[in-house]
Each structure stands twice: as C-alpha cells, then as structure tokens.
Chains A and B, each alone.
Chain A
Amino acid sequence: MTEEKSNTGILDKRKFKEIFNENYQSLFFLSRNYLDDEDEAKGVVQEAFVKLWDIRDDLKEDTNHRNFLFKMVKNNCLNILKRRQLLLKHHEKIKSLELHYQYESLNKIGFDYLQVKELKEKIDQSIKNLPEHCRIVFELSRFEQLKNREIAERLGVSQKTVEAHLTKSLKILRSDLKEYLPLIIFLARLVR
C-alpha cells in the first residue's frame, strides 16, 4: 500500500529523483536487453523520464508514475523493434523471426516487471537453493553478465558444462518461481 502511494501524487524534484532512483536501473536493463544498444536504450529511458517531468502538471492525482514510465519505455522499445523488423531485407528471415518473438515476449511483460522488489526475497532464496555449481555459473552469467566463454575460463571448465549448468538453473528457478509468472501463462492460453 505504502509503495503504491509513493508512486502517485504531486511531483517535485525531490520526488522525481526518488522515482528515478527506484526505477531507472530496471527500465534501462529492460530496454538494453531488447534493443541491444546501450545508447539507444539509455535514450529511450531518458525520454520517458523527461516526458514524465514535462507533463507532471497534467497528470491526474492518482496516476501511477512507475506504470507510466514502464508503459513509455515498453512502447518505445516495441516501436523500435517493429521498425527494425520493417527495415529488414527480404531474405533476412531468421532475423525477422527473432525480432518477432522478441517483440512478442516484450509485449507480454506487464507492470509487474517493476514490482519485482516484492519477490526479490523469494528469488534470492531460490538462487541460494540451487546446486552449488549451478548457482555459481548462474550468478556469473546473470549478475556479472559474463559470456559463457568467460565463465568457462574463470572456472576452468568447458563451455558445454557452463551451458548445462545454466540450463539446469533456469529449469529449477522456473519451476520454483512458477507462481510468480501467472500472467504469461494466462496470456499464452488466451492466444491459443
């Protein structure tokens, strides 16, 4: 409840900074993951914050700033992906398929993406519970953003091993955290 409240109400610089600190990281992470271009990703996120500030007086009292930012970033990323897909040459079929599925996967991500803090504890717990080798590989890949090759070098194992650990980690985490992914399952059924 308190958190919902902190995301609404009148916006002054202090509050704006608070919202920025709370959400910048996650939004940048999302747009960088999809756009695969640091500068473009940063631009999209900055644009959202600039917009929020510009129209702050037009916003209704109960507008959720966090959701507004998420929507702006998500929509702009979707547009960029769509544009990239349109610009592809006729023969780049795989690239086009890839963009299509990236687009769809982003499209299915909801506001709960930014509310992940509530389940951070649960995620941390699940990661801690992973078999040790899996956990080490997973943390290096996910949090230090190392390439599989780099992880293999660092741990002195083969790339195949790294891949296997990652696959296993993802599988365990998914079944562990299944209850926190209801939205996606629901949407996929609807499509069917």
Chain B
Amino acid sequence: MNKLDGNLLSKIITGEASPAEKEEFYNTLQNSQEAETDFYETKSLWLKMGSQYQTENVDAAFEETWRLIQRNNKPTIFQMVRRSLKYAAIFFTILSLGVVLGYLLVKNTINYPDQGIHKFSSLKGSLSTIELPDGTKVWLNAGTELTYKEDLENKQRLAELKGEAYFEVKHREDFPLLVKVGKVTVRDLGTTFNIKAYSSESVVTSLIEGKADILSEKGNILTALSPGQTATYSHKTGRIVLSSLNESTVNAWRNQKFVLTDERLEDIFKELSIWYDVEFEFEDEKIKDARYSLSVKKETSLVKVLEMLRLTTSFNYEIQNKVGQPDKITIY
C-alpha cells in the first residue's frame, strides 16, 4: 500500500487516531516517500492555519515571562555572593582553629549580566566554587581566571581558562562546552575533568568521568581522553603525553591540600607562590629540576612547608618581607 488513506491522515493530524491506526499509518510512511510528503505538507498546513487563532491570554503570558526574566537576573548575582560568603565562612572557621594563613581573601569578580560574557576569578590564596549559567559547576583553584560565554549562533558554550579548575559539566548534546587553555581546547562530551595550566609550558587535562576531546588551535582532535587518563600538552613541542590519572592529586586541591607527585621543584614553587602569594627566586638553577613529592594541608604555614621540603633536600632559603607587595623567597 503506497497511497495514503486520506481519512487516516486527517485522523492522525487531528490527533484522533487509535493505536492500531497509528501503526498502519506510520508503517505506510515507512514504505512510501509520497505518503511521507503528504503527511509533512498536511501537518505543516494544519499548523499554519491554527497558529493564527488566538485563544491564549498573551498579556498574562508576557507578565509571567517578564517576571521570570527579572527573577533570573537577580538571584544569580545574589547566589554568587552568597556562595562566596559561604566560602569565606569556611575559611574563617579554619582560621579560627588556630591556623594562620596570610593573604587570605575570597572574592569572586562578577561581570554580569549584560554583555553575555561572564568573568570569574579567584585570588591568590583562595578557592572558589561557581556555577555557570548553564548549571555547570566549576571549582577554581587559587589565582585562576575563567571567562564564559554562550555562542548561540554556533551552538556552543565557550570558556577560557588561566590557572586550574575542576569542571562538572552540565552536558548538552547539542551545545558542547569548549574550554580554551593556551593553544589547546578541551571539548566536553559529557564530563567531569580537571585542567591545570598554571605554568606557561603545559596544559594538564585529567578526565575523571565521561569523555573529552583535546583540540588543536585549528580544531583538529589531538586526542580523545578516556576516564582515568591524564593528557599533558606541551606548548613547546606541541605534543601530548598520556599517563594514568592520579585521582588524589586531582581531588587534593579541592580538599584544601597540596598533593604534588614527582614534580619539578620549580613547578612546586610555582604552585606555592600562587597559594601563599609570594615570589620565589632561584639562585642555583640546578635545584629547579630536582624532583619532589609533597602532600600537605593548605592551612599549613609557608615556613613549615619550606622546612618540610628542606628536610628532604639540600637547599636553603631566605625570606624577605616586603611592604605592599608579595614577600620574596630566595632559594640557594
């Protein structure tokens, strides 16, 4: 049977068809291009003719939508402030437990909402959690900047990251999230991942859950990450080295801990400088490349951390207090 039964078609269009009739109808469509066209045309006509007929109270609908717009805009700022206050509270609790931590400040910088670009940053010595307008949760490590924008024309969410962040992405099949980090872009495919890009030399992406692609500047897929993998992209060589993910390292910073496994002393100091807001200088270049592992709580004082490092190695340090700018620590 190739021709559509007109009676059946009108029943389908008007929503009057029984299950058996539906079965007959859709089976016919499967076997006949002509019937399919008939259906599309008639349905389109039916819709066009009905759309002109006003039954809804448009004014009431407008008021409702307008209220939604106003409610949408206000709480977002409010929530963020509240969230950062909550964070501050956690921090001050830690402080009151007798831990002295200098340069502590929790602040989110918010540019909102008019130009559609959202900017978030966490200061040195503080962590922030934020929720992007699409519901994606992001933890920002100290000294991190993140911008976010929805590109409706190309149906994508664009973020740019400097520093380190942990993403729990609200996945949308039709609206991927792209995080640009230096020369590479991480594309979410339904994902929880961590990106670390403090140093200008590399971008370290660790995938905890789901799928993610790492794209080159031109948009080619450099690698498709599987859960449990870490990809280290080197800006210098333009290459990616895959390794297995060390979950405690990735989760540590969110749990207020430094966990650095077999890293160069220079990189370790780079991280310490962001957390404690100090500057490091190496007098002996050779020390830079020595490798160490370190696991301490973030409320540990800098002096204590330095002492711990010094115990297992052979460097000395000198702290120079500076007024109005970061203290300087010289390693020799």
Contact = CB atoms under 8 A, between A and B. Distances in A.
Q: Is the interface of A mostly helix, strand, loop or mixed?
A: helix
Interface in A163-192: 163-164, 166-167, 170-171, 173-174, 177, 181, 184-185, 187-188, 191-192
Given A164-B7, A191-B33, A24 B62 contact: yes
Contacts of B16: 147-148, 163
Contacts of A24: 56, 58, 61-62
Contacts of B173: 79
Contacts of B23: 94
Contacts of B89: none
Q: Is the interface of B mostly helix, strand, loop or mixed?
A: helix
Contacts of A163: 7, 10-11, 16
A35 interface: no
Shortest Cβ-Cβ A-B pairs, 5 listed: A188-B37, A26-B51, A97-B26, A167-B10, A58-B116
Interface string A21-57: 1001110111001000000001000100111011101
Given A58-B116, A101-B29, A163-B10, A184 B56 contact: no
Contacts of A119: 48
B43 A116 contact: no
Interface residues of A, number: 61
Contacts of B150: 55
A157 interface: no
Interface string A95-120: 00110010011001100011011011
B255 interface: no
B49 A123 contact: yes
B323 interface: no
B13 A170 contact: yes
